[in-house]
Structure 1
Amino acid sequence: MRLTFAPVLLPLVAFVAMPAWGAPCRGQWTVAWASAQMAPNGDNALAPGTLTDSSLRQVVRPSIAGNRLRVRLSNQTGTAPLHLKGASIARALRAGSAAIDAKTVIPLRFDGRSEVTIPAGADYLSDPIGLPVRAFDDLAITIAFAEEPSGQTSHPGSRATSWLLRGDHLGDPAMAGAQAVDHWFSLAALEVERCKAAQLIVALGDSITDGRGSTTNGNDRWTDRLAQRLQADPATRHLVIVNQGIGGNRLLNDGLGPNALARLDRDVLAQPGVRYLILLEGINDIGTLTRETPVSDVEHARLVSRIIGAYRQIVMRARAKGIKVIGGTILPFGGNDYYHPDARNEADRQAVNRWIREPGNFDDVVDFDRAMRDPARPDRLLPRYDVGDALHPSPEGYRAMAEAIPLDLFN
């Protein structure tokens, strides 16, 4: 289905020149929503050819208001340029549905054109459009692929449903018959422009930040809960948090996605408006050390030393950009059947957490371990915070994580 967009363009041109509240201002851009990009593998990847001549609708939720916006598309893991026939944005009728308000459909332009070719390994920003958004509005971004990417660029752990249908459906209000896909593809960020400057918090982490165990289409990760707290208080409504978690991520080695040190520049330091970094990484490094076979005490000590070294690197590089770095203590994972941690793994976790808590190593600390552990068995999650695998929090656990973060850290 092809929709002719020309009738809506002229009013929008006039609207773009003026902020939503009518007074001219010198706008400042900040990220309002983002996802860390990677190459999907296994069941997370679409079958070859799936995206050829197809439209993909993806629903995202900004965590701060703005008067104009632009979309950042990605060909990060592609090995050749990616040609897109077009893209559009509209207000979604609800999360978990492909339905949009057809009256709100706006075509995205790239250097004034509807089509765009994104170089290999690159991101590409759309031209700004005048669409005032509030915090937590559901927005549907539809991408019309002309061809199969040379390498799919994705965020597998979307915890949100996307919709895929053959043909051009940029303005289709329902996308009837579309295939549901619980991943994001080629969609890196939504940026908003505001008259009053925003300050960005980036959450860098693994599946616990990505939201494994949260409700699909429920927006109840710990970062979502923190965003709600920030927007509920007039004193903190200038703060926005974006989630750059990747399931399986590690500090030291690639796993499901590049290691944290390798992706620090793109996922944190390059984000417009970033002022704070919450770092919660290391549980997968500790768990994978002995998942296949035990190792010596020397190897345990070496791992702890390397984790601390990685923390130091991240802190130094972020501070050099004027970013305040907040360390999150590693949650307990005793009883997990995948990593089957023993007393030595727990000793490694305790050693790392001691270093995180020591004054001066981070600019501030959020003690997720203390908030989430079972007082009777401190090497394990509190049962009501455990989704059932002794590793990932439940939605109630994610709420507790968000509530453990003092808002006065961000001042």
Structure 2
Amino acid sequence: MTEASNAGRRPRIGWAALLLALAGCAGPLQRGPGDGWVAAWGSAMLGQAPPAPAASAPWQQPMRDVSLRQVVRVDAAGTALRVRISNLFGAEPLLVGAASVARVAELAPQPRLDAASLRPLSFAGRRELVVAPHAEAWSDPVEIALPRQADVAVQLHLLRGPAVASVHLGSRMRSWAVAGNRVDAAAWPEAVVEEGWWHLAAVDVRASPRAVLVATGDSITDGYGVPSGSYQRWTDALSRRLAAQGRDAVVVNTGIGGGRLLRDGLGPSLAARFERDVLARSGVTHAVVLIGVNDLGVSHRGRATTPESRAALLAELQAGFADLARRARARGVCLIGATLMPYAGSGYYAPGPENEADRQALNAWLREPGRFDALLDFDALLRDPARPARLRAEVDNDGLHPSLAGYRAMAAAFPLEVLERRCATAR
């Protein structure tokens, strides 16, 4: 659907709800070198210990002599790609026997590959790869023509996987597995389906977009509630909006469901993974950080709090956000903050009035000028004016997460002009 056809369906609160604090930005963004690498897709890894949620072969862990087909959508047009294989959480080596990539001609019900585009991957000139424990490795570049938002299938033959796999289970995309080495075969009719990405952390494309935006955070960014393969996360909608307007910018999503800013949750804390999942992404120029609701919610779920404990948590969160801003500015990355959406309707966290007061206090601090290079006021965008502690009914999924309409509203309200600016490196 085009930008124009969506215009009449936007929420009541739109662009005006987003506060822009661009004092830290320094003029138009210049196009990068034409032979550079940029992040075109990414995921945030976390550890998956056996037994895996689906114990059916060939998905049993640790994986042995299994080929995986994993589909990703690259957000930059280019002439070549490279793939990053992850063993970040494994305590044993990850042995890859072979790997390949191909464009996907059709997604459903199972990926149908463009057989003419099937390319073997190599690693330092060899098809085999050993990834050391707690390490990652890039493939060699492979020439392949990729249009913007192309679906790419990455095939990995895992000779031997570690006991703890490095995965992203909140992929909102299916993957396929078969026994043996099948990475050079286009058709896998007997493949077994599972949701998630395994040992696949990044795909870079040789391109030179004007901006690379990495969006990170918790399950709201990770796309909770999005049907598998539908590409309806708020970042997916933003990517389509940029493409429809001819904007030369890439969007990469590194959210983790259950993620927290300060402490580990279902995965590492954002403070711990900020370098790997945001600042180290190839060519990153901008980042959006939407996180904190789980820090607040976990602190009071099923336990008593005191004014002192809540004040201490708010101070810790403020210090954590300030540290992210400092680290981003030290790298010349424009950091875009975001206010926390209301969650009083959440049966999982069931916040009381004092917890809602904490959310509002944190949002007031986040809105203060100079905290970030820009601020997205998603609270103002999605809250119910009559009941500001709750999401509006038309954008509410479960009292905590936005609905699909809510994700579209977030993307529609993003101020695209922010991506036309660059931020000076702090000294």
**TM-score after normalising by structure 2:** 0.87
Distance 2:331 2:92 in 1: 32
CA distance in 2, matches of 1:309, 1:115: 44
Larger relative contact order (Cα-Cα within 8 Å, sequence gap ≥ 6):
2
The separation in 2 between residues aligned to 1:45 and 1:125, in whole angstroms, is 28
CA distance in 1, matches of 2:294, 2:394: 22
Q: Indicate if the aligned counterparts of 1:45 and 1:152 stay in contact, CA closer than 8 A.
A: no
After TM superposition, give the deviation of residue 98 of structure 1 in Å: 3.2
1:307 aligns with 2:320: no
- CA drift of 1:43 comes to 7.6
Q: 1:327 aligns with which of 334, 337, 342?
A: 337
CA distance in 2, matches of 1:223, 1:41: 29
Partner of 1:362: 372
The C-alpha deviation readout for 1:69-114, integer Å capped at 9, x for no partner, is: 1111111111122110011111113334233222221110111111
Query: What residue is the counterpart of 1:390 in the other structure?
Result: 399
Contact 2:75/2:250, CA 8 A, preserved across alignment = yes
Q: 1:187-336 alignment to 2 at 5 Å?
A: 187-194=200-207, 196-234=208-246, 236-237=247-248, 239-336=249-346
Distance 1:50 1:361 in 2: 44
**Residue identity opposite 1:38 in structure 2:** L
Tell me the distance in 1 between the aligned counterparts of 2:96 and 2:225: 33
Give the CA deviation at 1:197: 4.6
- Matching residue of 1:10: none
Residue 417 of structure 2 aligns to which amino acid in structure 1? D
After superposition, the C-alpha distances for 1:266-296 in whole angstroms (9 at most, x for unaligned) are 1111111111110101000010111021211
CA contact (8 A) 1:82 1:150 kept: no
Structure 1 SS opposite 2:106 = coil
Name the counterpart of 2:191.
Answer: 178
- The amino acid across from 2:98 in the alignment is G
Unaligned runs of 5+ in 1: 1-24
Deviates more, 1:114-123 or 1:48-57: 48-57
- Using the TM superposition, give the Cα deviation of residue 46 of structure 1 relative to its aligned residue in structure 2, in angstroms: 5.5
How far the C-alpha of 1:341 sits from its partner, in A, is 0.8
Q: 2:61·2:163 contact (CA, 8 Å) conserved in 1? A: no
Give matches, 1:99-110, under 5 Å.
99-110=112-123
| Displacement after TM superposition at 1:26 (Å) | 4.8
Relative to structure 1, is the Cα distance of residues 382 and 42 closer, same or farther in structure 2, using a 3 angstrom cutoff?
farther
- 3-state SS of 1:215 partner: coil
- Larger CA deviation: 203-212 vs 130-139: 130-139
| Residues 120-159 of structure 1, C-alpha deviations (whole Å, 9 max, x = no match) | 1111111111111111111111100001324200001000
Mark the CA change 1:141 to 1:113 in structure 2 (over 3 Å): closer, same or farther. same
Residues 77 and 198 (structure 1), Cα distance of their counterparts in 2 relative to 1, 3 Å cut: farther
Q: Following the alignment from structure 1 to structure 2, what is the Cα–Cα distance between the partners of residues 64 and 198?
A: 11
Q: Give the whole-Å Cα distance in 1 for the aligned partners of 2:138 and 2:205.
A: 12
Whole-angstrom CA distance in 1 between matches of 2:343 and 2:194: 30
Give the whole-Å Cα distance in 2 for the aligned partners of 1:263 and 1:270.
10
The answer as to whether partners of 2:62 and 2:165 remain within 8 angstroms in 1 is no
Instruction: Name the residue aligned to 1:69.
Output: 81
CA distance in 1, matches of 2:335, 2:205: 24
**Alpha-carbon distance in structure 2 between the residues aligned to 1:346 and 1:398:** 22
Instruction: Pick one of 5, 14, 27 that aligns with 2:35.
Output: 27
The answer (yes or no) to whether the contact 2:62–2:160 under 8 Å persists in 1 is no
Work out the CA distance in 1 between the residues paired with 2:408 and 2:50: 31
Task: Give me the whole-angstrom Cα distance separating, in 1, the residues matched to 2:142 and 2:82.
Answer: 6
Name the counterpart of 1:408.
Answer: 417
What's the counterpart of residue 26 of structure 2? none
Cα distance change of structure 1 residues 50 and 175 upon mapping to structure 2, 3 Å threshold: farther
Unmatched tracts of structure 2, length 5 or more: 1-32, 422-427
Letter in 2 for 1:200: V
Change (3 A) 1:261 1:99: same
Q: Give 1:263's aligned amino acid.
A: R
CA contact (8 A) 2:62 2:164 kept: no
Distance in 1 of aligned mates of 2:94 and 2:317: 37
Is the Cα–Cα contact under 8 Å of residues 93 and 161 in structure 2 kept in the other structure?
A: no
Aligned partners of 1:43, 1:309: CA distance in 2, in Å?
38
C-alpha distance 50-281 of structure 1, shift in aligned 2 (>3 A): same
Counterpart among 383, 387, 406 of residue 377 in structure 1: 387
Q: Which structure shows the higher strand fraction?
A: 2
Q: How many residues align?
A: 383
- For 1:64 and 1:33, the matched residues in 2 are separated by 9
Q: Structure 1 counterpart of 2:353, which letter?
A: A
* Structure 1 residue runs of 4 or more that deviate by more than 3 Å after TM superposition: 41-50
User: Which among 327, 334, 339 is matched to residue 349 of structure 2?
Assistant: 339
Deviations 1:45-75 (A, max 9, x none): 5645462101110000011111111111111
> What one-letter code is carried by the residue in structure 1 that aligns with 2:224?
R
1:377 shift after superposition? 1.1
Which residue of 2 is the match for residue 9 of structure 1? none
